Amino acid sequence: MAIPSPLIEAINITQTFDQKTVLSQVSLRIHPKEIVTLIGPNGAGKSTLLKILLGLTPPTSGQVKVKKGLKIGFMPQKIQIDAALPMSVERFLKLGFKPNQPTHNAQNHSLKKALKNLFFSAAYDSTRLKKITKELNLSALLKQPIQQVSGGEMQRILLARALIREPELLVLDEPVQGVDIKGQAELYQYINQIRHQYGCGILMVSHDLHIVMQHTDQVLCLNQHICCSGHPKKVSESPEYQTLFSSLATPSEGIAIYEHHHDPTTCEHTHGQTQDTIPPNDSKAG
């Protein structure tokens, strides 16, 4: 089977701000249907890397290659909406559609509708909206002002909005932030389902260094440079975490453990790893 060409590829990205190196020679690629989890401590440059990948800031050096016409669904870490803006959750989601994007559901051509569409209301594919809101359990929230939803609800709303555009690449910035472990497991399972259902590649950022999504194909640990990468381990294979999860009485389905293997010659820090578990010459290749 031929390897499909990557959706997005970063080659030797380096970013410096006022002579301070934030990212150094970072390379990564994401293929269709692939889930890549980017982890790293605070200040590791995760957000900067994300901004570069999304084209929001140009890197100091290096290159980002994006598949032509790539549709990206982006879920920002948080979003602050001024209370002065009257907006329902439903409207917020609908704004994710491209304006004037004709869909098969737009057959109703009454004069009133034409007048309404003259300005502001593009025809929306309401079936897709319904499907996604149902899957993410948002249907009951649709009429609520967006400023009044809880943090966990907002995460799901942002995910729904990212999905509405039928993205080929889904970029999720801390999707499980502020979500309890049970909610995390649910969200991870849904994300895994998305990958198969829509066939999109997924890049996820998390500040949790050890607990990652089970179905992640590749974990990249970033701390200015890519310290190590690899596959996560099932909770059941990790005795210390198994006891933790059983004591919490939560299902660990969907969640996995990532063990760091840092090369001590380039990385002086570890994340709870004892040096002797690190095999010599552990390469950075995943």
Residue labelled with tokens 């500040």: 207
Q: According to the binding rule CB under 8 A, does residue 18 interact with other proteins?
A: no
Q: Fill in the per-residue mask, 222 to 251: x = in contact with other proteins (CB under 8 A), - = not in contact.
A: ------------------------------
| Nearest alpha carbon to residue 227 among 203, 258, 188 | 258
Q: How far is the CB of 35 from other proteins (least distance, A)?
A: 19
Q: How far is the CB of 76 from other proteins (least distance, A)?
A: 6
Q: How far is the CB of 78 from other proteins (least distance, A)?
A: 9
CB-nearer residue toward other proteins: 148 or 277: 148
Q: Do 231 and 218 form a contact (C-beta atoms < 8 A)?
A: yes
Q: According to the binding rule CB under 8 A, does residue 32 interact with other proteins?
A: no
Q: Fill in the per-residue mask, 36 to 75: x = in contact with other proteins (CB under 8 A), - = not in contact.
A: ---------------x--xxx---------------x-x-
Q: Which of 31, 165, 182, 210 binds other proteins (CB under 8 A)?
A: 165
Return the residues of window 81-120 that contact other proteins according to CB under 8 A. Answer: 81-82, 84-88, 91-92, 95-96, 98-99, 118-120
- β partners of residue 257: 211, 233
Single-letter amino acid code for the residue at 168:
E
Q: Do 49 and 13 form a contact (C-beta atoms < 8 A)?
A: yes
Report CA torsion sign: 40, 16, 168, 158: positive
CB-nearer residue toward other proteins: 99 or 280: 99
Q: Do 59 and 43 form a contact (C-beta atoms < 8 A)?
A: no
| Nearest alpha carbon to residue 213 among 248, 247, 170, 261 | 170
Q: How far is the CB of 37 from other proteins (least distance, A)?
A: 19
Q: Return all residues near 158 (Cβ < 8 A) that are at least 6 apart.
A: 75, 76, 79
CB-nearer residue toward other proteins: 69 or 272: 69
Q: How far is the CB of 47 from other proteins (least distance, A)?
A: 11
Q: How far is the CB of 171 from other proteins (least distance, A)?
A: 8
Q: How far is the CB of 90 from other proteins (least distance, A)?
A: 10
> How many residues of this chain bind other proteins (CB under 8 A)?
29
CB-nearer residue toward other proteins: 64 or 209: 64
Report CA torsion sign: 1, 203, 180, 159: negative
Q: How far is CA 30 from the centre of its chain?
A: 12
| Nearest alpha carbon to residue 78 among 30, 149, 137 | 149
Q: According to the binding rule CB under 8 A, does residue 285 interact with other proteins?
A: no
Q: Return all residues near 265 (Cβ < 8 A) that are at least 6 apart.
A: none
Instruction: Provide the token pair at 143.
Output: 């009429």
| Interface residues toward other proteins, by CB under 8 A | 51, 54-56, 72, 74, 76, 79, 81-82, 84-88, 91-92, 95-96, 98-99, 118-120, 122, 145, 161, 165, 171
